Amino acid sequence: MRIVVVGASLAGVRTVEGLRRRGSDADVVLVAGEPGAADGVAVDRPPLSKAFLASPDAEAAPLTTREKLGALGVELVPGRAVDLDLGARRVGLHGGESVAFDRLVVATGSSPRTVPGLEPVPGVFTLRTAADAAAIRAACTEDARVVVVGGGFIGAEVAWTLRQLGRPVALVEPLPTLMVRGLGPELGAAMTRRHAAAGVDLHLGTSVAGLEGRDRVEGVRLTDGTRLPADVVVLGVGTVPETGWLAGSGLDLRDGVVCDEHLAAVGAEGVHAVGDVARWHHPRYGVDVRVEHWTNAVETAGVVAADLAGERAVHDALPYVWTDQLGGRLQVFGQVRPGDEVRVVSGDLDGSFVAITGGEGQLRGLVGLGAVKQLMPFRRLLLAGAGWDEALAAA
Ligand SMILES: Cc1cc2nc3c(=O)[nH]c(=O)nc-3n(C[C@H](O)[C@H](O)[C@H](O)COP(=O)(O)OP(=O)(O)OC[C@H]3O[C@@H](n4cnc5c(N)ncnc54)[C@H](O)[C@@H]3O)c2cc1C
């Protein structure tokens, strides 16, 4: 049995580790194609928009090393996969070689989306790798004027981190509030007010029309006619699943590798997907989802390692994401649906708080800021499928 895992970041590395932990004695090969990284192995990404971005002294350690993989009996193959032949059961590599497999795990993650029509000029960055973060950090000199494009978790977090360093930061977001997809309109609006109070120059409900500057970015033009001066522009406009190398393979690639609840690719024998690239049928919600968060990458790796080791496992976990901004850890469990009721059950929205969200008599989501401990009893209720009244009674 030969298992090939393509992609050596969180989901891929945790999959090979999980296989060995579960006693698998298969031949395991890890194809590692992280750009600019030693041996193609990625670093843990969350610090890249937090401590690593803030401090030139911070270091980013790779998620594993050749030595550690060697100790696990995992063969490391640095390089990019360029195609997949499901019939011949081979992954083609850049440079012409190929790797044979019995079982394949796709762990190629996602890559930053760019803004259509924006020419990439020096001073304009996306943030995914340690090299990206180091380049942004170096460009954000003391007097650099920064424009962040995109007000999701990453954009808002980058704006917050750079603002804490004293940089003048403007943020452009087409929706009326920051982080609205994750937090919903009410909590999103409250957090938006806090960003404004911290001095982030918010331009909401408007988009980028174009960039100014030829040899280097000098400004950003907005669709509402505003011109923002800029020395550094960070694009945080979401990511797309890394499935280009799978084109034509026969896998179903509608926004990620389409999988069942075991994370097995539908319509293909012996292929799984993990992490950001996996789109699967979530048994808890009964819909297909793709999740681009750290904990999901770890959980999917566990499910697939178990499946490959012969223990049938289902990926039914409660969604979870955190981000460090607004003076604390902002955590979201479950789903915050637009139109759901929101109740603050601990603290207040100007400080630390826990809010519950729900509808149709059900508790559906939890949001906390700087309230890791206070959140836990509500998380237990959410996991247990508690009703709205039960959750309110626990406040
Ligand atoms: C700056 C930043 C901050 C974040 N902060 C948080 C946070 O606070 N909380 C949170 O929940 N989540 C956070 N995330 C998200 C989290 O890091 C991701 O969900 C996680 O990295 C997903 O892991 P993955 O292994 O699925 O994919 P990725 O990390 O994208 O890794 C995929 C790997 O596969 C490689 N690859 C791609 N194509 C090929 C190919 N053809 N051949 C070989 N290799 C290939 C890539 O180069 C990469 O090394 C953050 C992400 C970023 C970028």
Reported as a single tens digit per residue, the pLDDT across 27-59 is 999 999 999 998 999 999 999 999 999 998 998
Output the residue whose Cα is nearest ligand 1's atom 3.
46
d(CA 348, CA 31): 47
Q: What is the mean pLDDT of residues 214-220?
A: 95
pLDDT beyond 80 at 119:
no
Where is average pLDDT lowest: 116-120, 253-257, 282-286, 341-345?
116-120
DSSP assignment of 15-38: HHHHHHHTT--SEEEEEE--TTSG
d(CA 364, CA 163): 33
Does the Cβ of 282 fall within 6 Å of ligand 1? Answer: no
Per-residue model confidence (pLDDT) at position 116:
82
- CB count within 10 Å of CB 321 equals 16
CA 226 to ligand 1 center in whole angstroms:
34
d(CA 275, CA 296): 6
Per-residue model confidence (pLDDT) at position 351:
97
**Strands of the sheet with 208-212, listed across from one edge:** 208-212, 219-222, 227-229
DSSP assignment of 200-223: -EEEES--EEEEE-SSS--EEEET
Per-residue model confidence (pLDDT) at position 278:
98
Q: What are phi and psi of 369, to 5 degrees?
A: -130, 125
CA 325 to ligand 1 center in whole angstroms:
20
pLDDT beyond 90 at 223:
yes
CA 363 to ligand 1 center in whole angstroms:
30
293, 315, 322, best to mutate for ligand 1 pocket (most atoms within 8 Å of CB): 293
Output the residue whose Cα is nearest ligand 1's atom 29.
9
Per-residue model confidence (pLDDT) at position 107:
99
How far lies 98's CA from each of 41, 79, 95, 123, 171, in Å? Answer: 19, 11, 9, 37, 44
pLDDT in tens, 155-188: 999 999 999 999 999 999 999 999 999 999 999 9
DSSP-H helix ranges across the chain: 10-21, 51-54, 66-71, 130-139, 153-164, 180-197, 294-308, 372-383, 388-393
Instruction: Provide the token pair at 189.
Output: 């609006």
pLDDT beyond 90 at 92:
yes
Per-residue model confidence (pLDDT) at position 115:
87
CA 297 to ligand 1 center in whole angstroms:
8
Average per-residue pLDDT for the chain:
97
- The count of residues in the chain is 395
* Burial (CB count within 10 angstroms: exposed 0-12, middle 13-18, buried 19+), residue 215: exposed
How far lies 72's CA from each of 27, 75, 289, 358, in Å? Answer: 11, 9, 32, 45
Does the Cβ of 253 fall within 6 Å of ligand 1? Answer: no
pLDDT beyond 80 at 110:
yes
Does the Cβ of 6 fall within 6 Å of ligand 1? Answer: yes
Does the Cβ of 154 fall within 6 Å of ligand 1? Answer: yes
Return the residue matching tokens 């850890």.
Answer: 329
DSSP state of 287: E
- CB count within 10 Å of CB 61 equals 11
pLDDT in tens, 255-281: 999 999 999 999 999 999 999 999 999
Per-residue model confidence (pLDDT) at position 288:
95
d(CA 300, CA 10): 10
Q: What is the mean pLDDT of residues 124-133?
A: 97
d(CA 341, CA 335): 12
pLDDT beyond 80 at 199:
yes
> Hey, is 101 helix, strand or coil?
coil
Does the Cβ of 7 fall within 6 Å of ligand 1? Answer: yes
Q: With beta carbons less than 8 A apart as the criterion, state whether 303 and 281 touch.
A: no
Does the Cβ of 92 fall within 6 Å of ligand 1? Answer: no
Output the residue whose Cα is nearest ligand 1's atom 23.
10
pLDDT in tens, 278-316: 999 999 999 999 999 999 999 999 999 999 999 989 999
pLDDT in tens, 349-385: 999 999 999 999 999 999 999 999 999 999 999 999 9
Per-residue model confidence (pLDDT) at position 38:
87
d(CA 192, CA 155): 12
- CB count within 10 Å of CB 75 equals 15
Q: Which domains does the chain have, with CATH numbers?
A: 2-111+239-308 (3.50.50.60), 114-235 (3.50.50.60), 327-393 (3.30.390.30)
d(CA 273, CA 289): 13
Q: How many Cα atoms are found within 13 Å in the side-chain-facing hemisphere of 194?
A: 22
d(CA 127, CA 154): 9
Report the Cα 379 to chain-centroid distance in Å.
21
